[in-house]
Every structure is written in structure tokens, then in C-alpha cells.
Amino acid sequence: MLPEDVESDLSRVLYSEAEIKDKLRELARQIEADYEGRDLLLIAVLKGAVMVMADLARELHRDVEIDFMAVSSYGASTHSSGVVRIVKDLDIDLAGRNVLIVEDIIDSGLTLDWLRHNLQSRNPASLEICALLRKPTAAKVDIDAKYLGFDIPNEFVVGYGLDYAERYRNLRSIGILAPHVYS
């Protein structure tokens, strides 16, 4: 399942490739129904959400536009600072558009809270959030993710786009990073 050289770096696999695919398919059906007859623009923040974006977009049996933004929250730490700087802005004008933010994970929610306010100020017709994962700590900030994949334990996870110091993004499954890797 896992590549041999990373097997001992994960203490546990949380979701397999097949489980992730099934969940994204389920979310895609909801999104298709909710946006029927309306345009849809998917926006993801690099780099963590690239896998979710690629797979969710292809599960949607309809026309969508996609765009990416790059933000920086400083360093390779395992905790979010909430201090966000735009490194690459969107190419597409959001005014009057139905925008769906596609996210990998909501932890403290600080990044998404910042992003939601930033995008809202560009006057989209609508703005919703789709996140594959959410941690219990997310409850501290009020992030209303209309489309949510899995609620996960409060552990540092990697794989399927999620990194630790830029590694593990290309794992097909999502797992808990073993503490010996970062301590």
C-alpha cells in the first residue's frame, strides 16, 4: 500500500485512496445538485489542496472553472500562525461568480477565515467552502464548511497533498505522521 521508504513514518493510515475517492464522489453529487443551472468556480490554495482540487474537479460531471492562489504562513512548522501573505493571487475576477473554496484541511481555521474574508471582499455572487478534512480544533473559529469530507482526530496528518517539510504530498492515502519524524 504505502511506499516502503515511508511506511515507518506513519503511525496509522486514516483514509485509503479508495475511501478518499468515494467521499469526493459523494461531495461532488451534492455540489452538482446545489449548483445546477449556475456557473461554478473552484478555488484552491496551493499546495496542499492540489490533489483534492484535481480529483473533486474530475468527479464533477459539469463545466467548472478552476483557479489557484498561493499564500504563505511562514515556515515548515506543524502549527498554523494565521499570519497570511498572498504570494500568487487569482487570475480570475470573482465579481458575480459562484465561488467554491476547495481545501485540504481545516485545523485552527485561521487560514480559511482569512481567505473567506479576502474573497468575500471581491463581491462573488456566492461563496462556499469544501474541505476534505477537519480537526476538532476548528471549532474555535466559526468556519462553516458546507461540504465536508471527514472529521479527524487532533493529530498531524500527511499525504494526499498534505506535507511535512514538503514531503509526503504524493502519498495516495492520508495518515498520521509518526512523532519520531518531527520530534
Nearest distance, CB of residue 79 and ligand 5GP, angstroms? 7
Between CA 133 and CA 113 the distance in angstroms is 16
Known catalytic residue at 22: no
Question: 22, 104, 107, 113: which one is catalytic?
Answer: 107
Q: Is 158 in the site for ligand 5GP (CB under 6 A)?
A: yes
**In terms of C-beta density within 10 A (0-12 exposed, 13-18 middle, 19 or more buried), how is residue 149 classed?**
buried
Here the cell at position 117 is 474574508
Tell me the window of 16-24, 32-40, 122-130, 160-168 that interacts with ligand 5GP (CB under 6 A).
160-168
Binder of Mg ion out of 163, 169, 178, 181 (CB under 5 A): 163
Tell me the window of 9-17, 32-40, 96-104, 116-124 that interacts with Mg ion (CB under 5 A).
96-104
Please report how the helices 50-59 and 17-34 are oriented relative to each other, as an axis angle in degrees rounded to 10. 60
